[in-house]
Structure 1
Amino acid sequence: MQTLLREIRKTPLLWTLAFVPIVLVAEAVAPHSHTLLFVLAVLAIVPLAALLSHATEAVAAKTGDAVGGLLNATLGNLTELIIAITALRAGQYMLVKASIAGAIVTNAVFMLGACLLLGGLRYHVQEYNRASARLSSGLLLMATVALLAPSAVADLEHLPQGGGILNKLSLGISVLLILAYGLGLLFSLRTHKELFASAGHGDDDKEAHWPIGTAVGTLLVVTVLVALVSEIFVESVQKAAETFGMSPAFVGFIVVSLVGAAAEFAVAFAAARKDRLDMAVSIALGSASQIALFVAPALVLLSYVVGPKPMDLQFWPGAVTMMMIATVTSAFITASGRSAWFVGALMIFIYAVFALTLYVVPPAGQG
Structure 2
Amino acid sequence: MRLTLYAYLFPLAALTLAVLGPVFHIPFTGWLALGETVLLVGCSFACVHHAESIASRIGQPFGTLVLTLSVTVIEVSVLVAMMLNGENNPTLAREAVLSTVMFVCTGIVGACLLLGALRHREQEVRQQGVNGYLSVIIAISVLCLLLPDTTFSGQRGSYNQFQIAFIMAGTVLLYGAFLFMQTVRHRDDFLAEESEEAEDTRQRRLLVHIPCLIAGLVGVVALSSGVAAGVEEGLDRLGLRDPDAVVGAAVVALLLLPETITAIRAARRNQLQRSINTALGSALATIGLTMPAMVAVSELVGRPLILGIDPEDRIQLLLVLVLSIVSFGTGRTNLLNGFVHLVLFAIYVMTLFVP
Fold match by TM threshold 0.5: yes
Provide the residue aligned with 1:135 in structure 2: 132
Q: 2:256 aligns with which of 261, 266, 270?
A: 261
Q: Tell me if the contact between 1:129 and 1:199 (Cα under 8 Å) persists in the aligned partners.
A: no
306, 319, 333: which one pairs with 1:339? 333
Alignment of 1:154-173 (within 5 A): 159-160=153-154, 165-173=159-167
The separation in 2 between residues aligned to 1:240 and 1:284, in whole angstroms, is 29
Classify the secondary structure of the residue corresponding to 2:237: helix
Alignment map for 1:1-367 (pairs within 5 Å): 6=1, 9-11=2-4, 17=10, 31-33=28-30, 36=31, 39-59=34-54, 71-72=66-67, 74-90=69-85, 91-153=88-150, 159-160=153-154, 165-202=159-196, 204-208=198-202, 210-246=204-240, 247-305=242-300, 307-311=301-305, 313-361=307-355
Structure-1 separation of matches of 2:238 and 2:260: 25
- 1:271 Cα offset (Å): 0.4
Q: Which residue of 2 aligns with 1:3?
A: none
Distance 1:94 1:41, change over 3 A: farther
Amino acid at match of 2:3: K
**1:339-367 CA distances to partner (integer Å, 9 max, x unpaired)?**
22232122111111011111112xxxxxx
Residue 171 (structure 1) shift: 1.9
Structure 2: 5+ residue runs without aligned partners? none
Tell me how far 1:101 sits from its aligned partner. Answer: 1.3
Q: Is the 8 A contact 1:38 1:237 kept in 2?
A: no
Please say which of residues 208-217 and 68-77 is displaced more in the overlay: 68-77
Kept after mapping to 1: 8 A contact 2:263/2:279: yes
Distance in 1, matches of 2:336 and 2:5, equals: 30
Q: d(CA) in 2 for partners of 1:15 and 1:255?
A: 26
- Cα deviations by residue, 1:47-100 (Å, 9 ceiling, x for unpaired): 211211222334455567687676455324222111112123233333332212
Task: Report the Cα offset of residue 225 of structure 1.
Answer: 1.6
Unaligned 5+ segments in structure 1 are 1-5, 362-367
Q: 1: distance between equivalents of 2:225 and 2:174?
A: 31
- For 1:45 and 1:318, locate their aligned partners in 2 and report how far apart those are by CA, in whole Å: 32
- Between 1:292-301 and 1:108-117, the stretch displaced more is 292-301
The number of equivalent residue pairs is 348
Q: Secondary structure at the match of 1:336?
A: coil
Letter in 2 for 1:189: T
Aligned to 1:365: none
Q: Indicate conservation of the 8 Å contact 1:23/1:37, yes or no.
A: no
Shift of 1:232: 1.3
Q: Secondary structure at the match of 2:308?
A: coil
Cα distance in 2 for residues equivalent to 1:40 and 1:330: 38
The SS at the match of 1:268 is helix
In the TM superposition, residue 256 of structure 1 has moved relative to its aligned partner by 1.0
Paired AA for residue 324 in structure 1: L
> In structure 2, what is the Cα distance between the partners aligned to 1:65 and 1:200?
12
Please give the alpha-carbon distance, in whole angstroms, between the structure 2 residues aligned to 1:288 and 1:162.
26
Please say if residues 61 and 187 of structure 2, whose CA atoms lie closer than 8 Å, have aligned partners that are also in contact.
no
Structure 1 position 325, deviation (Å): 2.5
Change (3 A) 1:45 1:207: farther
Structure 1 11/248 Cα, relative in aligned 2: closer, same or farther at 3 Å? farther
Distance 2:146 2:224 in 1: 30
Of all paired residues, the percent bearing the same amino acid is 20
Amino acid paired to 2:48: S
Kindly report the root-mean-square deviation, in angstroms, between the aligned alpha carbons of the 2 structures.
3.3
